[in-house]
Amino acid sequence: MDFELAEAELLLGRTPAVLRALLSGLPERWLRGNEGPETWSPLEVLAHLIEGEKTNWMPRVRVIYEQGEAGQFAPFDRFAHLRASEGRSVDDLLDEFAALRAQSLEEVGALQLTPADLGRTGQHPEFGRVTLGQLLATWTAHDQAHLVQLSRTLARQYREAVGPWQAYLSVMR
Amino acid sequence: MDFELAEAELLLGRTPAVLRALLSGLPERWLRGNEGPETWSPLEVLAHLIEGEKTNWMPRVRVIYEQGEAGQFAPFDRFAHLRASEGRSVDDLLDEFAALRAQSLEEVGALQLTPADLGRTGQHPEFGRVTLGQLLATWTAHDQAHLVQLSRTLARQYREAVGPWQAYLSVMR
C-alpha cells in the first residue's frame, strides 16, 4: 500500500483510545505480567510509547524536515522506559501518552507537508538514506506492532488456563 | 496465571470498545486489506468474532453447564464468516458484535458460576475432557489472539512504505 499522510494521521490519532479501551482498569497482575525474561509488561510498553513521542518520532521528523541529510538522528534509547514506568499508574501513563500524541500530531499538521515533502531525505545512522514518508509510515506501523505485543502478552497470561485449547491458539507459541 | 472469572468477564467486556477504537472510520482499503492469500481482512476478523458469539462460545458453555460430558459441542465453522461479512459496513459489524457480546456476558452472569462450576467438565471432540474454566479462558485469549491479528494486518499494509525500517519491525516478517 502506498503511504497517505491523512491515513497515517488517522491511525496515529486513534492509538491512545485503543490503549485506553484495552488497558485502563485492568487488574495490576495483568498490567505487570510479561511474556517471560527480557520481555515487557503492558505498563512498560506504554512507557516505551511515551519515550518514543518525547525523543524519537517528532524529533526525527524535524531533523529531516529542517536539516535534510546534513542532520543527525539523536539515538533512541529503547530501554529508557524500563525505569520510567516504575511506580506509575496505568491511567497516568495513558494520559501522558494521549497528551504527547495529540501534541505530536498538531506539530505534524503545522508543517503542512506536501507530497513532495514526504520525499525529503535524511540520513539514518545504520540504513543510510531514508525519506520523511518512510519515517511517518514506520511511526504508524510501530504503534500497531506494540498493539500486537500488548494483546499477545495479555493472551499469554492464560497459557496454562486454556488447558488443551493451547493447541488451537498459535498466539501461545 | 490462574483463571479468575471476574477478570475474564472484564476482558471479554471491553473487546467491543477496543475494536471500535481501532477500526471504526478507517478507510475501506485498510478494512479490506489482508496479509496475503488465505488470510483475513479486519472486516473478516470481525465477522469471525460475530460467528463465535452466535455458534461457539455460549453454546459450548451451556453444553458443559447443562449436560456435562454427555453433551456434544456443535461444530464451529471457522470459515462461515467469510461469506457473512460481504457487503456489510464496519460499523454494522461492530454494532452486531457489541450487542452479541453484551448478551453473552449477561448470560454468563445469569449462571452465577461458582469456583466449583468452573471445574465442571465436558467432552471436546478432539481434546477429550475439558473444563468450563478452560473454555472461558480460551474465549478470553481468543479475543486477544484476534486483536494481535488485526494490528499485525494493519501494520503489514505498510510493509513497503516503511522502506529500510522493515529490518527493525519484526511484525513485518
pTM above threshold 0.95: yes
Contact B15, B25 (CB under 8 A): no
User: pLDDT (tens digit, 9 = 90+) per residue, B96-117?
Assistant: 999 999 999 999 999 999 999 9
User: What's residue B83's pLDDT?
Assistant: 77
User: pLDDT (tens digit, 9 = 90+) per residue, A53-99?
Assistant: 999 999 999 999 999 999 999 877 777 777 777 889 999 999 999 99
Domain membership of residue A17 as a residue range: 5-172
Q: What is the CATH number of the domain that holds A15?
A: 1.20.120.450
A151 vs B contacts (CB less than 8 Å): 144-145, 147-148, 151
Pairing assessment for the beta strands B128-131 and B121-124 based on DSSP bridges: antiparallel
> What are the helix (H) ranges across chain B?
5-23, 28-32, 42-55, 57-67, 81-84, 90-110, 132-156
Number of domains in chain B: 1
A171 vs B contacts (CB less than 8 Å): 141, 144-145, 148
Q: B10 to chain A nearest CA, in Å?
A: 8
> ipTM above 0.90?
yes
- Read off the pLDDT band of B152 (50, 70, 90): very high
- Read off the pLDDT band of B92 (50, 70, 90): very high
B73 vs A contacts (CB less than 8 Å): none
- Read off the pLDDT band of A144 (50, 70, 90): very high
Say if residue B87's pLDDT is above 90.
no
